[in-house]
Structure 1
Amino acid sequence: MEQIIKTFSDYAWGLPLVILLIGGGCYLLILSKFLPFRYLGHAIQVLRGKYDDPNDPGQISHFKALTTALSSTIGMGNIAGVAVAISVGGPGAMFWMWVSAIVGMSTKFFTCSLAVMYRGKDSAGEIQGGPMYFIIEGLGKSWKPLAIMFSLFGMIGALPVVNVNQLTQAFNDIVLTPNGVEVGLKSNLILAFVLVSLTSVIILGGLNRISHAASKMVPSMVLLYFVLVLYILISNYSVVPKYFILMFTDAFSANYYEGNAFMGGVLGALILLGIRRGAFSNEAGIGTAPMAHGAAKTDEPVREGLVAMLGPAIDTLIVCTLTALAILVTGVWETTSDNGVSLTASAFNHTMPVYGKYMLMICVFIFSISSLFSYAYYGAKCLSFIVGADKKHYYNYIYILSIILAATTPFSVMLNLIDGVFALMAIPTMVATLILAPKVVKESKSYFKRLKEF
């Protein structure tokens, strides 16, 4: 089973998908004349609530939409995903994650603008946004198979298997094993039961409860993580410049790459690894974030697109870079055989021997829990699109069962499964976005023209 899932994931992440995600993102950047980067200041003003109108259509504020989307992306992609990238690809993998994020900012701008531009209604008459709705509303009913393809893979992609798996690994490595507790199926099932109880309380309360929980948890956990990593960097300040430069130089030499070659070379494999881990981290082009941003209270699609594009900047350019530097400057990437969250824990333990790993455990716990909430909303929305809003609650039961499965399965299986499914979600999202992109550019010109008139 493990080998089948790995083959599926590697096949899905072939050259065509890389061209679609990165090539498509570059096309969007050029088409918009780098618009997302020119209006960063305006995006921050929108996020702060300067243009909020309680009478606008939608369910949640710009800030809550961003924190709901971020609570699913800032999580294991930043702690475990970066560690996987460095343990396989070395420091250079981070550079290609940055490239993926910069291109991803333009992709997020377009996909999330479309999520508001072409909102549809579910069977209960509630306004909804997301790739499945903008495919049908923007491209027409004949494109429905593409929307169904997104929703089917979206239901699997939204399962919290990587987060739960890594949270279980972190709890075992950081709390149980060092204190002499025997780790096994029994301890994993107890942890799964605790997670199921916590998650059930929030997800059964719907989007408002999810977004409220995320808007409280996300900013505080990012701040705590930021402070902890800053302490590691200050403690090892003498080697920070060396490793920062190594991220750039190794990106083109691939001296530390330890995986399989791609397109006949290690450099190609390193680029693919960076893009794959970047996509896992910021989800640009995958299509999950537009489902959260599509529920924002606004009648200006461009505003929501601008807020959404801040996601990859916060997520990959800031949080992932901090994790990478912490792992590199402490040297644990060369001295231990740890992988995933355990490698990041080793870095924290190296600089803060007594309490470091426990502080990371708090971050990991909150990162994982907040991700659990958002993904449940995404999956239920996909099921609602296929079978009707009155049956979407059934997804929560599948979701809760998957928590138990993930807590007792090897990490590589879970990571490859989600990687492969994300690739298949990206196809309908990117195809529809590339076709509808000129309409977003037209809407942007109209929006900024109106803005200058006020």
Structure 2
Amino acid sequence: MNYSLHNLLEIIDNLVWGPPLLLLLVGTGVYFTFRLGAIQFLKLPLALTYLFTKEKNVKDKGDVSSFAALCTALSATIGTGNIVGVATAIKLGGPGALFWMWMAALFGMATKYAECLLAVKYREQDANGNMLGGPMLYLEKGAGQKWLARLFAFFTIGVACFGIGTFPQVNAIVDAGHIAFNIPHEVTAIVLTLLVAAVTIGGIKSIAGMASKIIPTMTVIYVTACVVILFNNASAIPSAMSLIVNSAFTGAAATGGFVGATIMLAIQSGVARGVFSNESGLGSAPMAAASAQTNSCVRQGLISMVGTFLDTIVICSMTGLALVLTGVWSMDIEGARMTTEAFSLGLNQSYGPMVVAIGLMFFAFTTILGWNYYGERCVVYLFGQRAVLAYKIVFLALVLSGAFIKLDMIWLIADIVNGLMAVPNLIGLILLRHVVADETKAYFDSLKQNLSEESTHVNV
């Protein structure tokens, strides 16, 4: 029965993540890159400046600061995708999968900018006075496609409950706890469920507060550990980069426990795992962006696109290079064990596994919190505030059960619901492409005018 179910899920996964969705995902990013004048490259310095400066005279209502909103989005993106997902992608598609992760992320930054801009533009307050926004709002209010909005909300609840939000994160946490500290799976599952319940009761402010503390700290620790591995293997970096680029266009030959990969498998696994990690085009980050205290949808769009840069270009790259440099990618191991082995070889047999375990635990924990919030926003949109308690009970039950589902089944289910969630959101972005372009032009024209007036005033 399990074997036939697994085969069925593989068939569905290949259909969902076939060429049409890959083209739609990457194509949307390519379109916005050209339409917005390569905004993710030219305006990245400005976006980083906004990230560390407080906006003046904020009039629009919001629940949390722009930085806290970004940390909430990052809490949902920086997780197992960066540690286990990269390992899974390289295991399936070879080192070339990392190259396609980069491509998806670079173009995905423009997509993330567009979707978060629209989220702030079309947001509204719910019955409790909290901000409600995201693809379901801009699909309904902006594009006039209420059926697509409802479809998106339904798929998002599916992702929160059966995809990124629960099973992969819980499985990674219990595995990491067992590998590094020999903690029984059952104990970790119970403690994790209680912690998730304690934090999510406080809503967005509680989640954002937790994310604002954990994400920056753990990112610095994890990236520092990766830099040490790169430094210890500095002489091998050029050949590793060459292998990554060459494998992206030629496939990867079978070595050791590695089965070998075609170019299409490298592209498919790289893009799918890249989207799983940075969520560009999925429509999740806009729900966090909508909670930001800001006057400008463009400004928040710029801040939000930094999330994709940090998630994939920085953190996923670090993990991927560690896997390739240490040669672990070709060994007969998978998932968290693969990354753990790379850190064990690259750092130290004592400290390496501990860094991965602690990183996985904290990153995956905040991902669960972030996706709990996303699912809740969609439940409010579809069923109203009265359904939130029932949703939280179901969510916690799924967190508890996630420790006992097999890894290959987990990633298949997660990939399928992720892909289904992305489709209505991407359609919405295409329908509202002119709104994104017009808002962007108006904002930067106004910025130029203000700078010109300030310069004239100074000269006078």
TM-score normalised by L of structure 2: 0.92
The 3-state SS of whatever aligns with 1:309 is: helix
- 1:39-80 per-residue CA deviation (whole Å, 9 max, x = no partner) reads 112211221134244543211111111111111111100000
Residue 200 of structure 1 aligns with an amino acid whose one-letter code is A
Residue of structure 2 in register with 1:423 after alignment: 419
Distance, in Å, in 1 between the alignment partners of 2:246 and 2:366 is 35
Task: Please give the alpha-carbon distance, in whole angstroms, between the structure 1 residues aligned to 2:436 and 2:92.
Answer: 38
Q: Which residue of 1 aligns with 2:146?
A: 144
Task: Please list the CA deviations of residues 204-244 of structure 1 after superposition, one character each: whole Å capped at 9, or x if unmatched.
Answer: 11000000100111010000001111111112222122102
Partner of 1:450: 446
Say yes or no: does 1:169 pair with 2:169. no
Q: How far 1:127 moved relative to its partner?
A: 3.1
Write the mapping of 1:161-310 to structure 2, written as runs, cut at 5 A.
161-176=167-182, 187-256=184-253, 266-310=262-306
CA contact under 8 A between 2:283 and 2:422: conserved in structure 1? yes
- In structure 2, the partner of 1:184 is none
1: CA distance, partners of 2:70 / 2:354: 28
In the alignment, residue 172 of structure 2 is paired with which amino acid?
Q
Alignment partner, residue 36 of structure 1? 40
**Residues 125 and 64 of structure 1, relative CA distance in 2, 3 Å threshold:** closer
Give the letter aligned to residue 14 of structure 1. Answer: G
> Which residue is 1:71 aligned to?
75
Say whether the 8 Å CA contact 2:167–2:410 is kept in structure 1. Answer: yes
Q: CA deviation at 1:391?
A: 2.0
Aligned length: 438
Looking at structure 2, the residues matched to 259 and 293 of structure 1 have their Cα atoms a distance apart, in angstroms, of 41
Question: Out of 325, 338, 341, which is 2:336 matched to?
Answer: 341
Instruction: Percent identity, please.
Output: 35
Give distance in 2, aligned partners of 1:86 and 1:260. 10
How far did residue 125 of structure 1 move?
A: 5.3
Q: Which runs of 5+ in 1 are unaligned?
A: 182-186
Pairing 1:58-97 to 2, within 5 Å after superposition: 58-97=62-101
Distance 1:256 1:56 in 2: 55
Moved over 4 A (4+): 257-261
Residue in 1 that maps onto 2:456: none
The structure-2 alpha-carbon separation of the partners of 1:341 and 1:53, relative to structure 1 and needing over 3 Å to count, comes to: farther
Structure 2 alignment gaps of length 5 or more: 451-460
Shift in alpha-carbon separation, 1:127–1:360, aligned structure 2, 3 A: closer
CA spacing shift, 1:338–1:437, aligned 2, 3 Å = same
Q: Who is 2:453 aligned against? A: none
- The 1-side partners of 2:367 and 2:243 are apart by 32
Matching of residues 294-373 of structure 1 within 5 Å: 294-334=290-330, 336-351=331-346, 352-373=348-369
Report if the CA contact (8 A) 2:180-2:354 is conserved: yes
Q: Is it true that 1:122 corresponds to 2:98 in the alignment?
A: no
What's the offset of the Cα at 1:331?
1.5
Matched residue type, 1:338: I
Residue from 28, 48, 68 that aligns with 1:24: 28
C-alpha spacing 1:52/1:245, structure 2 compared with 1 (3 Å): farther
| Of 166-175 and 213-222, the range deviating more from structure 2 | 166-175
Partner residue in 1 for 2:117? 113
Measured in 1, the distance between the counterparts of 2:360 and 2:265 equals 29
Q: Distance in 1 between matches of 2:233 and 2:45?
A: 33
The 1:259–1:377 alpha-carbon spacing in structure 2 relative to 1, beyond 3 Å, is: farther
Residue number among 54, 61, 69 corresponding to 1:57 in the alignment: 61
Give TM-score scaled by structure 1 length.
Answer: 0.93
Give CA deviations for 1:56-106 in whole Å, capped at 9, x if unaligned: 321111111111111111110000010011112221110000000011000
Match of 1:132 in 2: 136
Change (3 A) 1:256 1:392: farther
**1:122-172 per-position Cα deviation (integer Å, ceiling 9, x unaligned):** 3445431110011111022xx111111111110110132111111122222
What is the CA deviation profile of residues 262-320 of structure 1, one whole-angstrom value per residue up to 9, with x for unaligned ones?
xxxx2122211111111111100001100000111112110011011111111111101
1:405 to 386, 401, 404: 401
Q: For the residues of structure 2 that align with 1:76 and 1:359, how far apart are their CA atoms? A: 14
CA contact (8 A) 2:247 2:263 kept: no
Return the offset for 1:260. 9.4
Coordinate RMSD, CA, aligned: 1.6
1: CA distance, partners of 2:259 / 2:448: 52
AA at the equivalent of 2:179: D
Aligned with 1:158 (options 156, 160, 165) = 160
CA drift of 1:407 comes to 0.4
Q: How many Å separate the matches in 1 of 2:264 and 2:91? A: 17
Cα distance change of structure 1 residues 431 and 49 upon mapping to structure 2, 3 Å threshold: same
CA distance in 1, matches of 2:224, 2:129: 45
